[in-house]
Amino acid sequence: MISKPSTHRGVAEGGRNIKACFHSPSSQSAAGSTRDEFPSREFLVDPLANSTWDAQVASHPGATVFHSAAWARVLHETYGHRPSYLGRHEAGGGSSLLPIMEVDSPATGRRGVTLPFTDSCPPLANSGNQVAQYWERVLALGRQRDWKYFECRGPNLAPAGARPALTFYGHELDLTPSEDQLFAGLGAGVRRAIRKAQARSIEIEIKHDLASVETYYALHCQTRRRHGVPPQPFRFFASIHRHLLARGLGWVIQARWRERIVASAIFLQFGRRANYKYGASDKDFQSLRPSTLLMWEAIKWHAARGFDSLHFGRTSLANEGLRRFKLGFGPREARLENFRYDFRRQEFVTTRDRAHSPLNSVFRRLPLPLLRAVGKALYPHLSCVICFPFTQPAQSLLPL
């Protein structure tokens, strides 16, 4: 059984201790720029070069697993994306941080993203004024690095009046009520599905070994093909295991029926916040409702261990079925806006939500080995749903 996560005493103290993250930053960033190119209070910082990064970032109440060095390492190790995080020391004390990865692809261009394959990664700051001051720094960095565009995932960074490129639903559940209160907050259909799965003797297991990741990945590939989407390469999930799960920053929760794993999901955590990141299931056993029981047991498990919240990831506005499934667990719903600034046009641009495409039917017919090869070839050139013409985030593939 996984041990109880650290509660990080600095959580309640605001961003005061985050300044240590920027102590003696490297003079040369991963993107090849020096801190001297920016005013003295602002600089580029590489989380991969700072051994105390995670402990210090965790002192900020807004920090999530996506602000961690572990997540940055997953993106860098798997796809070669380069961290160009912007740090800022404030004259009155305290610091702030804007995570950015540079994606450089001959096929899709060079751009900055906060962050690739990430639901939301807003700046860590103590005030709106700190956030607003970042925008000019982003523009300067983008011009210097010859970015095609900049993708912003999270609130408050884009200037007032900017048009979002895409909007998603986000769902976050407060885990502080009692178990009885959490169960009472479930929709009637969810409660029926839980009882059905329990009556069929579905067993829930919590793992963090590589074998459980491999089992998850097999279901992931099947689920992806069912939705007509190439799976991400296994090395991405192996990196998640190496840098997150093996360090107690996440786990695989799986549903077993008799001798078979029929549903599986990957959850990540940082401080007192948990994130549901990826989910998959065997379609032949969906009538047993294993995914519903899995999510309920995950809610109970995280709540019993002192987590404050569980984020269900983002959902396409067009995916009403998935939205209803998530709302059935009683979370708070919010709009998540993504912004894209085009440096050549010098303006914010919009894009279509391509949750469905004619390519979906093509991918559904491909043999799994070929579909995995397609994903392996494509994903290094991609960074998020708004530049991927035939998919939405992987976590949205949890079956109903």
Tell me which of 15 and 208 has the higher pLDDT.
208
Residue 267 confidence (pLDDT) above 60? yes
Tell me which of 77 and 123 has the higher pLDDT.
77
The pLDDT of residue 92 is 60
The pLDDT of residue 344 is 96
Angle at CA of residue 395, ends 52 and 279, nearest 5°: 100
Query: Predicted confidence band at 296 (pLDDT cuts at 50, 70, 90)?
Result: very high
Q: Is 245 left (phi over 0), alpha (psi -120 to 50) or beta?
A: alpha
Residue with tokens 């939500």: 353
Question: Worst-scoring range by mean pLDDT, 21-25, 255-259, 261-265?
Answer: 21-25
For 252-305, the DSSP string reads: EEEEEETTEEEEEEEEEEETTEEEEEEEEE-GGGGGG-HHHHHHHHHHHHHHHT
What does pLDDT average to over the chain? 85
Residue with tokens 């048009």: 163
Query: Predicted confidence band at 336 (pLDDT cuts at 50, 70, 90)?
Result: very high
Predicted TM-score (pTM) of the model is 0.85
For 189-240, the DSSP string reads: HHHHHHHHHHHTT-EEEEE-SHHHHHHHHHHHHHHHHHTT-PPPPHHHHHHH
pLDDT tens profile 57-85: 998 889 999 999 999 999 999 999 999 99
Tell me which of 139 and 11 has the higher pLDDT.
139
pLDDT tens profile 185-195: 999 999 999 99
In whole angstroms, give the CA distance from residue 108 to residue 74.
21
**Number of Cβ atoms within 10 Å of the Cβ of 211:** 10
The pLDDT of residue 89 is 73
What the chain holds in terms of domains, given with CATH numbers, is 9-160 (3.40.630.30), 168-336 (3.40.630.30)
Average pLDDT over residues 350-367: 84
The pLDDT of residue 278 is 96
The pLDDT of residue 88 is 80
Tell me the two tokens of residue 340. 């894209």
The pLDDT of residue 355 is 63
Residue 364 confidence (pLDDT) above 90? yes
**Number of Cβ atoms within 10 Å of the Cβ of 385:** 24
Average pLDDT over residues 146-158: 87
In whole angstroms, give the CA distance from residue 340 to residue 217.
31
Report the Cα–Cα distance between both ends of the chain, in Å, rounded: 28
**Number of Cβ atoms within 10 Å of the Cβ of 188:** 8
Average pLDDT over residues 16-26: 42
Q: Percent of the chain having pLDDT more than 90?
A: 68
What is the torsional sign of CA 214, 216, 220, 226? positive
Contacts of 345 (CB under 8 A, 6+ apart): none
Query: Predicted confidence band at 93 (pLDDT cuts at 50, 70, 90)?
Result: low
Contacts of 35 (CB under 8 A, 6+ apart): 25, 27, 29, 43, 44
Residue 35 confidence (pLDDT) above 70? no
Average pLDDT over residues 102-120: 93
Average pLDDT over residues 303-317: 96
pLDDT tens profile 197-230: 999 999 999 999 999 999 999 999 999 999 999 9
